[in-house]
């Protein structure tokens, strides 16, 4: 990535670098503001926003950070050149109070945003220290330190209730989805087509271990054959083009192979693609999953649909759509697939990340231990 840097010689012979987000680029010289403090703070936010955009960070990352800084400034009743560590501590207490108490991971994210913003203000390349000293006689400081922020101690900070589905829960969910399609079809009411779509989307999410965005952004062209299993036709693999991106990067791609234990998904995909989906002529002819209005189904819509289906099926509220991905990883491990294969199937960069998703059953642990005992002690007897 290349960043354009403008160099300017001052009267003292010093070199001033103007990088995206510097004070000289966002504050107009010679302008008298009616509310100078508010104007400078707005310019700081604009400067940090430009700096983040220069790093190619997404709007979905930048906008919540800007909103948090405005919220913190309103809570503290002051601007960054007056902030202190006590403001962070009081703000943290407010986030942990009441019925809307935030999770530790969310509070840690708030602390990280405040720390990064203060680092930006203190960076001499941006010139905010000089501007604040000249205008207000006070300069910003780093208000977040190791003793007033949440430490990242665990690899996984999700809710304890979030876990993989058991085999019984998965079977119950799939039976409910199939019965719902049959019931609506027999009644002659509207909704059988959408019910079939919902059922196949949930099954596909599990059978390939997909993230929600990956699932919703699949196209017909992403369905690929496996030359070793010609009987599966075009359903031997799924090409994921909208995988989770690294920060500032583009979506990562991968191919997820259909595994024999989940070959039941092939018949369902064939029914959807070849029989059900063609019933609607889509405005988006490439999208695999459509709404009744012939548009690609969104992630938010799918989240709402799954929450309703899970409730109707009588399953726990902590079992989200993403838990199906955890189930996929866990069950591949129980089926005996190598760690590297599982990691590549789900698109993780590190095996340690895959390990967080894994929660093998007690039955699997017992079988593994029995196999180990038999292998060790039988070999001793043979000696």
- Kindly list the catalytic residues: 211, 244, 322, 325, 348, 357
Triad 303, 304, 306: Cα angle to 5°: 65
* Cα dihedral 277, 278, 283, 285 sign: positive
DSSP string spanning 68-127? HHHHHHHHHTS-GGG--HHHHHHHHHHHTSSTTPPPHHHHHHHHHHHHHHHHHHH-TTT-
Rounded CA separation 296/284 (Å): 7
Distances from the Cα of 178 to the Cα of 207, 234, 271, 320, 361, angstroms: 16, 23, 13, 19, 26
Q: Output DSSP code: residue 219.
A: B
> Beta strand 15-18 with 237-240: parallel, antiparallel or unpaired?
unpaired
Decide if 81 contacts 140 (C-beta within 8 A). Answer: yes
Distance CA 360, CA 337 (A): 13
């Amino acid at each position: 990535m290349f960043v354009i840097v403008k160099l300017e010689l001052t009267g003292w012979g010093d070199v001033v670098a103007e990088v995206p987000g510097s004070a000289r680029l966002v504050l107009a010289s010679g302008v008298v503001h009616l509310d100078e403090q508010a104007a400078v703070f707005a310019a700081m936010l604009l400067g940090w926003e430009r700096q983040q955009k220069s790093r190619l960070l997404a709007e979905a990352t930048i906008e919540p950070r800007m909103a948090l800084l405005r919220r913190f400034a309103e809570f503290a009743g002051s601007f960054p050149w007056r902030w202190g560590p006590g403001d962070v501590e009081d703000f943290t207490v407010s986030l942990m109070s009441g019925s809307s108490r935030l999770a530790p991971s969310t509070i840690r994210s708030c602390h990280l945003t405040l720390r990064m913003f203060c680092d930006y203000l203190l960076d001499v390349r941006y010139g905010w220290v000089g501007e604040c000293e000249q205008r207000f006689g006070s300069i910003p400081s780093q208000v977040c330190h190791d003793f007033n922020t949440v430490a990242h101690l665990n690899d996984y900070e999700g809710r304890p209730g979030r876990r993989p589905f058991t085999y019984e829960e998965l079977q119950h969910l799939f039976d409910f989805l199939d019965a719902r399609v049959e019931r609506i079809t027999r009644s002659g009411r509207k909704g059988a087509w959408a019910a079939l779509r919902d059922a196949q989307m949930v099954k596909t999410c599990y059978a390939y271990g997909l993230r929600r965005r990956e699932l919703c952004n699949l196209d017909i062209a992403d369905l690929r054959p496996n030359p070793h299993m010609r009987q599966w036709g075009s359903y031997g693999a799924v090409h994921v083009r909208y995988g989770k991106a690294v920060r500032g990067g583009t979506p990562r791609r991968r191919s997820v192979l259909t595994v024999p234990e989940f070959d039941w998904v092939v018949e369902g995909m064939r029914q959807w693609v070849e029989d059900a989906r063609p019933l609607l002529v889509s405005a988006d002819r490439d999208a695999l999953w459509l709404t009744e209005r012939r548009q690609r189904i969104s992630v938010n819509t799918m989240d709402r649909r799954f929450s309703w289906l899970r409730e109707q099926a009588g399953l726990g509220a902590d079992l989200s759509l993403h838990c199906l991905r955890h189930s996929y990883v866990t069950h591949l491990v129980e089926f005996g697939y190598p760690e590297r294969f599982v990691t590549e199937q789900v698109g993780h960069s590190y095996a340690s990340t895959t390990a967080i998703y894994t929660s093998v059953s007690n039955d699997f642990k017992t079988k593994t231990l029995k196999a180990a005992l038999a292998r060790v002690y039988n070999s001793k007897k043979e000696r």
